[in-house]
Structures are given as structure tokens and as C-alpha cells.
């Protein structure tokens, strides 16, 4: 029996309907949620990603500010731009589109963003706070994966969860978020020997390695939940994930497609974090009667 498809597009649509309602509530109270996106240089892929984020903002009623900086801009100028946005009360989220040119220190730039506007969840505070479960803004891709897992209706507590890929953006925070839900977590990376001996034990397999076709059926446990975070463009122009989808879906119980799985959720959780920031700012301003934020919920099939 083929796996059930975890439809990221459908879940993203469901969540964005709720976002518009939250935006309208905020605007009725005089708060217009705003997201600033900084793009350094003219990387074609980055322009596409920025465009998708701006489009998502428009769909949900969030004001977006696109700041394009030249590829040779100084690090000092980037930091000045961030500080101006930190001080701007009309901006509730600041996003730096990656990658940055090599002459700019990524860590220094990410640390310059106010932790209260770090809607990508990349600031050291937000990443480190995942250990205690007190992160203000969870990183968007792992956050989206978490909600996709919720749609299966399966409790991850006690399950063997294997994450392939140990990046600071996906793999490491994903592992911490799964630990918070009491899964038993293994994180594999480029130096892992005999990857298959780890993946075959996974009840939940999350793959974010950036290698097309890395995961084949022989590496997947019968009935596993498979989440494919990879996005790879093949020479013929096709977009594929890190998992051999057609073959693995005959062995898994649930699986995400590429495209249409994790991707739409990453952008959606960026909007979620921006709205949380606006709601926090509103409450901090002294409106105690405002309804407290609650994590988005999804309906199980």
C-alpha cells in the first residue's frame, strides 16, 4: 500500500486563512504587522525566495519591506540597516536572505538582529533556547516539519526519529524540537558511517542533506513517516528532494512530496513568527485584554 501524502500546500492554506483573521484583529487595534526582508546581492535563487516571502505576506495581509543591498555593500552598512530596523516599531520581523557574500560575517549579522524580531529563529538566543524549550521564535523549517508531523495524528513520544543533515538551520534545531516531544533522536551527517544502519531504524525519518536520491527504499523502515526537506534542481530542470519519492512511498506510511511538502510550510511559519512578534509587541505596549497567543493547531485526518 502506498504511503499517505502529507500535503504541505493544503496545510499552509489552512493556516494562512487563520493568519488573515489574526492580522485583521491586530489592525483593528492599531497594529499593522510588518516584515522586513534584506537581500544582499542579486542571487537569482535568492530573488525567487524573497519574492515568495513577499507574496505570502500580501496573501496574509502582512506589510512587507524589501531592502535590496549591493553585493559589495560593507558589513558595517548591513549592520546599520539592521539596527535601523531594530528601532523601527512598525517592523515586527527582520529576515536576512541567505546566502550572504563571503566578505560579510554571517554570525555577526544574525546576532545583530533583535531577538524579539528574529522571525527566522537564527539568533543565538533562539537557537540555544531550544534546549530548554523557551525559544521565542522556532526556526521556520523545523517548525513547519513539526506541524506536518501533527497532521499524521501520530504521537512522536517514544518513537525513533532520525534526522539526516546536521545544519544549524534545519538538522540541529529539528533534533532538539523532537527531543522536546520525547522522541529518541539520532542526527546523522556527512561523516556518519553506514547511513543506512541508522535510517532503517527510524519510525520518523527527516532528511535535509541536499543530495538528490540519497534515501532509497532499502534504507527505510516499513511503515516509517518520511519527511523530505531537500530541494534540488536536476540538470533537466526538475525539482526533487533527497528521497527517491516514487519508490520510498511504497514502503512508508506517510511521506511528503517535493515540491509541495515542507517548502510551503517554511514560508508559512515565517508569517506565523511575524504575527507572534506583532502580538507580543502589542501586549508589551500594555493591552492586557488582548487574547494570548496559542500555537496553531492542525486537524488530523
- Give per-residue pLDDT as tens, 82-125: 999 999 999 999 999 999 999 999 999 999 999 999 999 999 88
Q: How many CA atoms lie within 13 A of 123 on its CB side?
A: 19
Cα separation, 214 vs 228, whole angstroms: 11
Cα separation, 264 vs 157, whole angstroms: 26
Cα separation, 33 vs 61, whole angstroms: 8
Q: 8-28 vs 44-60: helix axis angle to the nearest 10? A: 60
Rg (CA), the chain: 19
pLDDT tens readout for residues 222-278 = 999 999 999 999 999 999 999 999 999 999 999 999 999 999 999 999 999 999 999
User: At 4, is the pLDDT very low, low, confident or very high (cuts 50, 70, 90)?
Assistant: very high
Cα separation, 76 vs 188, whole angstroms: 37
Q: What is the structure's pLDDT at 32?
A: 96
Q: Work out whether strand 232-233 and strand 239-240 pair parallel, antiparallel, or are unpaired.
A: antiparallel
pLDDT tens readout for residues 39-69 = 999 988 899 899 999 999 999 999 999 999 9
Contacts of 74 (CB under 8 A, 6+ apart): none
Question: Catalytic residues, which ones?
Answer: 53, 97, 120
Amino acid at each position: 500500500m502506498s504511503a499517505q501524502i502529507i500535503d504541505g500546500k493544503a496545510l499552509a492554506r489552512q493556516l494562512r486563512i487563520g493568519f488573515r483573521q489574526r492580522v485583521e484583529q491586530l489592525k483593528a487595534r492599531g497594529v499593522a504587522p510588518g516584515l522586513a526582508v534584506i537581500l544582499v546581492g542579486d542571487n537569482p535563487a535568492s530573488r525567487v525566495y524573497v519574492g515568495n516571502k513577499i507574496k505570502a505576506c500580501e496573501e496574509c495581509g502582512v506589510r512587507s519591506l524589501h531592502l535590496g543591498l549591493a553585493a559589495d555593500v560593507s558589513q558595517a552598512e548591513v549592520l546599520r540597516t539592521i539596527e535601523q530596523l531594530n528601532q523601527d516599531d512598525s517592523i515586527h520581523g527582520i529576515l536576512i536572505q541567505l546566502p550572504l557574500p563571503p566578505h560579510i560575517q554571517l554570525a555577526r549579522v544574525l546576532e545583530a538582529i533583535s531577538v524579539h524580531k528574529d522571525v527566522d529563529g537564527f539568533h543565538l538566543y533562539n537557537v540555544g533556547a531550544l534546549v530548554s524549550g523557551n525559544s521565542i521564535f522556532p526556526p521556520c523549517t523545523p517548525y513547519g516539519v513539526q506541524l506536518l508531523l501533527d497532521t499524521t495524528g501520530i504521537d512522536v513520544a517514544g518513537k525513533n526519529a532520525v534526522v539526516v543533515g546536521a545544519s544549524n538551520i534545519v538538522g540541529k534545531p529539528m533534533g532538539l524540537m523532537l527531543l522536546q516531544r520525547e522522541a529518541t533522536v539520532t542526527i546523522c551527517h556527512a561523516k556518519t558511517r553506514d547511513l543506512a544502519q541508522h535510517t532503517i531504524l527510524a519510525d520518523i525519518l527527516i532528511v535535509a542533506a541536499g543530495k538528490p536520491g540519497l534515501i532509497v527504499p532499502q534504507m527505510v523502515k516499513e511503515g516509517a513517516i518520511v519527511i523530505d526537506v531537500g530541494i534540488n534542481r536536476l540538470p533537466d530542470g526538475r525539482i526533487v528532494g533527497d528521497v527517491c519519492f516514487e519508490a520510498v512511498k511504497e514502503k512508508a506510511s506517510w511521506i511528503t512530496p517535493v515540491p509541495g511538502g515542507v517548502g510551503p510550510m517554511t514560508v508559512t511559519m515565517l508569517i506565523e513568527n511575524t504575527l507572534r512578534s506583532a502580538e507580543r509587541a502589542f501586549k508589551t505596549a500594555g493591552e492586557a485584554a488582548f487574547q494570548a497567543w496559542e500555537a496553531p493547531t492542525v486537524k488530523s485526518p
